Amino acid sequence: MIRKKAERTPTHLQCSSSSIWQKVTNLRTLKQVHALFVVNGFNTGPSAIRELIFASAVSIFGAIDYAHQLFDQIPEPNIFTWNTMIRGSAQSADPGRAVYLYTQMDRRAVRPDHYTFPFVLKACTRLRWVDTGLGIHGRIMKLGFEPNVFTRNTLIYFHANCGDICIAKELFDDSAKRGAVAWSAMTSGYARRGDMDNARQVFNEMLIKDMVSWNVMITAYAKGRDMQKARELFDQVPRKDVVTWNAMISGYVSCGGQKQALEVYEEMRCTGVVPDEVTMLSLLSACADLGDLKMGKKIHSSILLMGPKYLDVLLGNALIDMYAKCGDIDRAVEVFHSMSEKDVSSWNSILGGLAFHGYAKETLELFAEMERKKIRPNGITFAAVLIACSHAGSVKQGQGYFRLMKDGYGIEPNTRHYGCMVDMLGRAGLLAEAFDFVEKMKVEPNAVIWRTLLGASRVHGNVELGRKANEELLKKRHDESGDYVLLSNIYASIDDWNEAETVRNLMDDIGVKKKCGSSLVKASGEDFLLGTLSAESLQTKGFRLNF
């Protein structure tokens, strides 16, 4: 019984191979099925190899490297296999491999067909390889494939987006105008070049507007920070998909309209459109910018309801950043430790959050763990570590990390790293060392560094160094009232009222006005912006202060 069943296995697998590949959704499962075929002697059939390559190159995200390994073992691939590999490579993270495959195909005298060139041209468009794309166009004309509708549409898209727009217009003739794809290609090309007038003209002339065209226009207006026109088109879309909603949400976030982004998301939920990773990334960014912890927690819950596959590295990092910026550092740490996969940005997000919240000890312990795990830090990592040392007053430790960054990891310090060191020395009262450090910097100190030194001089009452920092600061900028106020306060702290008055008069002479602060208070559910009323008088009237 067992022997007969074993004999039937290859035939059984051959009959159901198509259905098997349709059920394979990840690389691990694909390898398991492949191993099953090998064990049962079924990997030699051309149809099985073809379907295996198609599944790994096209159907399963992130499996293109495995497809290349399989492809390299085939002595004489047929045109279908070549096209499959070119297609998969063109849509992968490394589209240059599609062009390389095409050149290998040409060297081996394998004649391309009308499916080959659209994939190669898409790779050239993604890479913006104009000269290579022009060469491919010449080859298309030589082999007589230009009239083919798929090839022609891809040529229009290539030339409209990165090639010669005049050639795209010539190809966009009456025959091409019969389909929506060519119209979308022209609209996209003009929009990507920033020519919104021509993009809108082509869009308006379209008899049938497909979803791609609507989304291209809305996204282009949003990226151009023209949210009014983006909203006008958005409201006209007959049927919105997730890309349409994402364009509006991300557009509002990038333009500072975080509240509008959250309002659009509520509209999206009411329509029943299911959000995706892009939606959630934009929403978490909005919550982080607003400091809206309550809404951030709701977004987190929605992500968990979407399923574990959605909580990847990108969303995990965004959650850490959101919780840290909203003040819930404990929840940020929980998310970090719950992530099954982490990249250097994951570590940077939690290290930065801990450092800015004053958890210096925890920051340095986590950095030590990062080193133990052989995860290579970068400049952002060391900025967080130096901030932690600065807040803790650990000057020697901070100097050690600064040397480690340069000598141990070969990371050249930038202005931010130098600023952290200056702040560290200034906080510790080592003003002479701080000024000496600035003079030896390899980059020119900016206004922030001089302002840091001025502030440190104010705290420690060093008039001479404060005056020097102020002189350098005024070379960088003249219109910041706080710079003058700091110097005036330094003089006032040692009762040198004449010099303090001189600084105040200088402000008046050059027209610098002291900026008035304001406070947000809430009473009976209403927000009020108040200027000069005292806190005591407000509290006696029952106001709740939200500074």
Please report the pLDDT score of residue 277 as a whole number: 92
Tokens of 289: 């910018």
Please report the pLDDT score of residue 52 as a whole number: 77
Please report the pLDDT score of residue 173 as a whole number: 79
Strand-pairing partners, residue 522, are 527, 544
Cβ neighbours, 10 Å, residue 161: 22
> What is the architecture of the domain spanning 413-515?
Alpha Horseshoe (1.25)
Instruction: Give the residue extent of every domain in the chain.
Output: 343-412, 413-515, 517-547
Calpha distance 223→248 (Å, rounded): 10
Q: Which whole-number Å values give the CA distances from 293 to 226, 297, 522, in the listed order? A: 29, 6, 19
Please report the pLDDT score of residue 16 as a whole number: 43
Tokens of 338: 């719950």
Cβ neighbours, 10 Å, residue 35: 11
Tokens of 104: 């290998």
Please report the pLDDT score of residue 525 as a whole number: 37
Task: Give residue 18's identity as a one-letter amino acid code.
Answer: S
Q: Which whole-number Å values give the CA distances from 414 to 99, 379, 443, 465, in the listed order? A: 38, 8, 7, 24
- Using a 10 angstrom Cβ sphere, with 0-12 exposed, 13-18 middle and 19 or more buried, the burial of residue 330 is exposed
Cβ neighbours, 10 Å, residue 45: 15
Q: Give 428's DSSP letter.
A: T
Please report the pLDDT score of residue 36 as a whole number: 62
Strand-pairing partners, residue 523, are 526
Task: Give residue 365's identity as a one-letter amino acid code.
Answer: E
Calpha distance 533→531 (Å, rounded): 6
| End-to-end CA separation in angstroms for the chain | 80
Strand-pairing partners, residue 529, are 520
Residue 158 near residue 124, CB atoms below 8 Å: yes
Please report the pLDDT score of residue 177 as a whole number: 77
Does pTM top 0.85 for this prediction?
A: no
Task: Give residue 28's identity as a one-letter amino acid code.
Answer: R
Calpha distance 313→397 (Å, rounded): 31
- Using a 10 angstrom Cβ sphere, with 0-12 exposed, 13-18 middle and 19 or more buried, the burial of residue 277 is middle
Measured N-to-C along each axis, helices 116-127 and 149-161 cross at an angle, to the nearest 10 degrees, of: 10
Q: How many helices (H) and strands (E) does the chain have?
A: 31, 3
Q: At a CB cut-off of 8 Å and minimum separation 6, what does 390 contact? A: 398, 420, 423, 424, 427
Calpha distance 542→154 (Å, rounded): 67
Please report the pLDDT score of residue 58 as a whole number: 77
Please report the pLDDT score of residue 53 as a whole number: 77
From first to last of the 547 residues of the chain, give the pLDDT tens digit.
Answer: 333 333 333 334 343 444 455 566 665 666 666 666 666 555 555 666 777 777 777 766 667 888 888 888 888 889 999 999 999 999 998 999 999 999 999 999 999 998 999 999 999 999 999 999 999 999 999 999 988 889 999 999 999 988 899 999 889 876 667 778 889 899 999 998 889 999 999 999 998 898 999 999 999 999 999 999 999 999 999 999 999 999 999 999 999 999 999 999 999 999 999 999 999 999 999 999 999 999 999 999 999 988 776 678 999 999 999 999 999 999 999 999 999 889 999 999 999 999 999 999 999 999 999 999 999 999 999 999 999 999 999 999 999 999 999 999 999 999 999 999 999 999 999 999 999 999 899 888 888 888 888 788 878 878 778 778 777 777 755 545 555 555 555 655 554 555 555 555 555 445 445 554 444 343 333 333 333 333 333 333 333 333 2
Query: How long, in residues, is the chain?
Result: 547
Cβ neighbours, 10 Å, residue 371: 15
Strand order, beta sheet including 519-523: 526-530, 519-523, 544-545
Please report the pLDDT score of residue 73 as a whole number: 81
Q: Which helix (H) or strand (E) holds 522?
A: strand 519-523
For Cα atoms 326, 331, 335, give the angle at the middle one, nearest 5 degrees: 115
Please report the pLDDT score of residue 97 as a whole number: 94
